[in-house]
Structure formats: C-alpha cells, structure tokens
Chains A and B, each alone.
Chain A
Amino acid sequence: MIFFIKNLKAAIFMDRKTPFSKVFEEKLIGYVFILPWLIGVFGLTLFPMLVSMYISFCKYDLLGLPKFIGLKNFYFLFFQDQKFFTSIKITFFYVVTAVPLRLVFSLIIAMILNRRGLNTGIYRTVYYLPSIIGSSVAVAIVWRELFGTNGLINKFTALFGYETNISFIGSQHAAIWVIILLYMWEFGSSMLIFLAGLQNIPEMYYEAAKIEGAGFWRRLFGITIPLLSPILLFNMINQMIHGFLVFTQVYIITGGKGGPIDSTLVYALYMFRRAFEFQDMGAASAMAWIMLLIIGALSLTVFTTSKYWVYYESKEGK
C-alpha cells in the first residue's frame, strides 16, 4: 500500500518544481469531478456486494449479528427448499416465453411502421405509451381487474352469448400468462430501438434485392435480420436481464404472494419474501448471488455465440 502511494506520488509529481496548483489542475482535478460516482460505486455497490457475499454464508435475521454457518444457506436452497426450484422454473419459463415473444412482436410492429410515405408518428407515440407507464402500480391494478372475475375476457365471451366466470389471475395455469401479456403490452421501447435500426438500413439494398428478384422472406432474412442483428443482440440481453428481475407487477397483481399455489412466484419476488417476510437475509443474499451468476452466465453465452449470428457491417468498411 505504501509502495503504491509512493508510486502514485511519483507519477503525479514528476517534476518537483511544478507548483501544486498546476499539478492539481492537470492530473487530480478529474477525481474531484468523478467523486460522486466514486463514493457511490464503493459505498452503494461494491461494498454492499461484499457484505452480501459474506451474509450469504451467515444466518442473519436483522436482529442480532450475522452468524457464520458456512454453506448451509446454499444447501437449504438447493436441497431442502421446494420454493426455490419452483421460482427458478417459473422465472425461466417467463424469460423463455416473454422475451422472444416481445422481441418478435416489436420487430414485426417496427417493420410495418417503417414505411416511407406514411405518417406513423402518432402511432409510434401511442404504442410507446404503455412502456412509459407500464411499471406503475396503477397499470398493475388495471391488469388485475381486466383479468379477474369481472374482467375483459369474460365480457368478451358474453358478447357472443357465453356467460363465463373465469378469473385468469386466480387460475394456476393462466396467471403467469397474464403477467407475460402485461410484459408484451410494454413492447414500445424495443420497438423504437428496432425502428431506429431499420431506418439506418439503406433503401438501395432492398432495391437491389428486388431487381435481383428476391422475395419478401429472402429480403427479411438476407438483409433486414443480419443488419439488425447487433440491435437484436443488445435488445435481447437487455430484455433478458429485465425479465429475470420482474417484480413490481407480479407483486401487485398477486397481492405480494406469487400465487395461486406459487404459480407466479418469480425469482425476485421469492427473494424479496425470503428477506423481508421470512427475515432470512442469509438465504436471500445467497439467492442474489445465484441470480447474478445465472444472469452473468447467460449473458456470456449469448455474447460468445453472438459471433455466429451477429453481423457487423463495419468489418467490410463503409
């Protein structure tokens, strides 16, 4: 440590004759500017992460002091706790269905909106609106009503003369789909990102392809998808991480429980309940680290396989 400081000093005061104010102005002032972030990253991110790692090996209920118990929290989660696997299963199901559905859906909408000569600005605004307010509690409340006993679907069937009385929220099989549907409804932000990407594809590529006689599908898979693939990759990783962390809407729609019969007990919700309902900070911290590892591993997989399907135009030189 002392050696490091000496080196640092030498690096900063290369010339002893330079006045300190000048040295400060040229080499140290940067630290003043990034100081807020430095405090934040060490105080609110890195230090908490270390604390969380330590606590994951402890028994801690917020009252006494954390008591070191080794790997028992992990043992509990993997071998004794049924709910842990339930929550992993549900979360994977959610991510694997909701994320591709939303990506495909927002790509389709972006493609039909991306027409020259049509004024689509107003539609863009309307489609985007749900993703701005989608995370609010108000929307989750509406969703709960629409798919409850008195909700939309039952009124819809009544239109055709069938009186049904289904509560989708109350159904063990349908409840997760209600949440997936809410996620789909907020497709606006990924649609906008796709639209920006589509507008960057030069029109002449399509014209050339048309002259060569390429049909719609050929143009889609030959031009659009390859040129959009970097954006697709970005969107996919972004959405995947968000998908793993779904919390607020599930919390509101299911009243904080993840029911019925744990069928919507997503990972973040279970972690929250472990921590603040069961007061089991140890297992909850272990869950946080497991989630970080899962997300890290998945992102890494997507990144490493991306070289086979992501096409970077710049390689050919523009």
Chain B
Amino acid sequence: MDELKLHDINNDRFNKKLFIKIMLHACYILIGITMIYPLLWLFLASFKTQPEIFSSTNIISLPKKWLITNYIEGWKGFGNETFGVYFLNTIIISTVATIGAIFSSSVVGFGFARTRFFGKGILFSLMLSTMMIPYPIIMIPQYLIFQKLRLVDTFVPLILPSWLGTPFHIFLVTQFMRSIPKELDESAVIDGCSKFGLYFRILLPLSQSALMTVAIFSFYWRWNDFTQALIYLNKPRLYTLSIALRMFADPTSVSNWGAMFAMSVLSIIPVFFVFFFLQRHVTEGISTTGIKG
C-alpha cells in the first residue's frame, strides 16, 4: 500500500515537472517569435510585389511568388550611385575604424596596465570620467572642429575617433591586461625584452579575447551608426548604408517600398553573420562588461 502511494507521488511529480518544462518551452518560443516577427516580416516583404505587401490581411504570409526584382531595383540606388557604393563605403569605414579600435585600445590599455609614468592615476580617472560623457554633448563642437579642418565630407571624422581610442574599449582591455600574471612580463624582461617587445610578444597575443570583444562591438557601432554619417557625409557618393536607407525611407519621396525593404535586408546581413559566427564572444562580452550592443 505504502509502496504504491510512493510510486503514485513520484509519477505525479514527474508529470508535473514535464508539464512545467513544456509550458516553459512554449513560453520561450512565444517570446522568441515576437522577437523575430519584425525581422521575418521584413524578410518576406522584400520578396513581395508592392500591392502584395500592403493588401495582405494576414499577420504573416509567404510571398505568392518569390521575386528578386526588389533586390535588382533597389541595388540601382539613386543619384547615379548604386547600393554597391554605399556598401563599399560602409565596409571601408567599419573595417578601418575597427582596426583602429583594436590598435588604440591595446596600445593604450598596455600603457595603463603595464607601464609607470607621472600622473597615471589622474589620467586613468580622467579616462573613466570621459566614459560617462555622451556623444551628443560633443557632437556639435566636434563638428565645428572637423569643419574648420575641412574634413566634412570625408571619412576621417567617422574613423579618427576609433584610432584615438574609445574610453570604454580602453577600459575593457586595461582590466583584461591587468588580470594577466605579471610573472610572464618579468621573465621576458630578464630575457632582455623591451617594453615594445613586451607589448607585441606577450600582452597583445594574450589579450586576444578582450580585443575580439572590442572588434565586434566597434564593428557593430560603425556599421549601424547613423548620427555621425548624417552629420558628416552629404554627398551621395560618400553615403553609408544607414544614410542611403534613410533617403530611401524619406516619407516625401518613397516610391518603391519593396526595394527599400530589400536593401534593408541586405544592410543587416553582415551584422547577422558576425553575430552568428562570433556569438560566444558577443554574449561573453556583454555579460562580463555590460557593454551596450
């Protein structure tokens, strides 16, 4: 009798557990669908004809025919420039800025983590406090400076700041380098390694994972950046994808919605790729540093 009861309870508990498990997964999937829905909608709309996009009364529907005309039309761009030009511009800016971010954050991070100099403490706190200054505060005077230097309508204002170091990136790398055991340096110094050698041979290779995080986020920021491109790039041949898409989306001039959606899809594909292939680095970077995606 007793045995039977126990069995019943166990079975019951098992069922309850399974039920909770299924409910949880259902809940997760539902949230997941909500998260993905806008992107899915965009993706499907990019293959539809214009009347089809707006006439459908379903929340989600597959295109009647998968058309690539939107992509062909969209790629033609406007103002004598194709989307290829915008892609190329965005790739150039993002790549050069990302290389700059890796360079500056590793070099400056090394400086703060591994060298001694007069006023280091003060300068480090200065860097931490500039981390809190939001970009819009210095947006206008920076523009005035770049304008006086005749650098408006070049890529320099979008790239140079990365080469000079973003406080958050520097902080991240400094903290990482500080966690690398000093014994490694000491033995290298005994073997006659200079500070530059120390940087190139020991700390740079060992900081790879922190620099990976810096690289990924700097790439995202540059690729998605809108504000700076909007301020500094006024000629169609210099436009980045963000600006080109905005031109496409201008409510007063929109004519071809399908093409706009198609180009929107193309513009987020590289971000998707980086995300899926380097996902582990991304999530690690977020959870350990609280960096904003």
Contact = CB atoms under 8 A, between A and B. Distances in A.
Contacts of A41: 126-127, 130
Contact of B133 (A62, A109, A292): A292
Interface in A265-279: 268, 271-272, 275-276
B1 interface: no
B142 A156 contact: no
B287 A29 contact: no
Given A125-B279, A150-B54, A245-B135, A136 B242 contact: yes
Interface stretch (B3-11, B69-77, B163-171, B180-188): B163-171
Interface string B6-29: 000000000000000100110111
B242 A49 contact: no
Contacts of A235: 290
Most buried by A among B38, B230, B242: B38
A53 B277 CA distance: 45
Contact of A48 (B58, B120, B142, B275): B142
A124 B147 CA distance: 44
B108 A36 contact: yes
Nearest to B56: A155
A72 B261 CA distance: 46
Interface string B117-142: 11010010011001011111111111
Nearest to A117: B21
Contact of A25 (B36, B110, B139, B195): B195
Contact of B268 (A52, A112, A136, A244): A136
Contacts of A145: 41, 45, 257
Contact of B24 (A11, A55, A118): A118
B120 A30 contact: yes
A255 B242 contact: no
B69 to A, nearest CB: 19
A254 to B, nearest CB: 9
Contacts of B120: 30
A192 interface: yes
B245 interface: yes
B111 interface: yes
Given A138-B264, A141-B249, A247-B136, A30 B283 contact: no
B32 interface: yes
A136 B268 CA distance: 8
A272 B260 CA distance: 25
Contacts of B227: 247-248, 272
Contacts of A125: 279, 283
Contact of A275 (B39, B140, B282, B293): B140
A299 B59 contact: no
B42 interface: yes
Nearest to A26: B116
B288 interface: yes
B104 interface: yes
Contacts of B260: 141
B225 to A, nearest CB: 8
Contacts of A196: 287-288
Interface stretch (A78-86, A281-289, A310-318): A281-289
A34 interface: yes
Contact of B108 (A37, A192, A245): A37
B59 A36 contact: no
B80 interface: no
Given A132-B293, A155-B58, A292-B133, A40 B165 contact: yes
Contacts of B96: none
A129 B35 contact: yes
B117 A146 contact: no
Nearest to B109: A33
A1 interface: no
A44 B286 contact: no
Nearest to A139: B38
A133 interface: yes
B192 interface: no
Contacts of B79: none
B283 A292 contact: no
A113 interface: yes
B141 A127 contact: no
A141 B254 CA distance: 12
A118 B42 contact: no
A293 to B, nearest CB: 10
A195 B283 CA distance: 11
A138 B140 contact: no
Nearest to A169: B251
B67 interface: no
A31 interface: yes
Given A33-B108, A52-B137, A241-B132, A132 B220 contact: yes
B49 interface: no
A225 interface: no
Given A27-B116, A48-B145, A129 B137 contact: no
Given A34-B123, A137-B245, A252-B249, 4 more contacts: A27-B116, A44-B160, A193-B287, A275-B143
The 6 A-B residue pairs with the shortest CB-CB distance, nearest first, are A40-B164, A33-B111, A30-B117, A196-B287, A30-B115, A48-B141
5 contacts: A30-B111, A33-B107, A41-B127, A43-B164, A132-B275
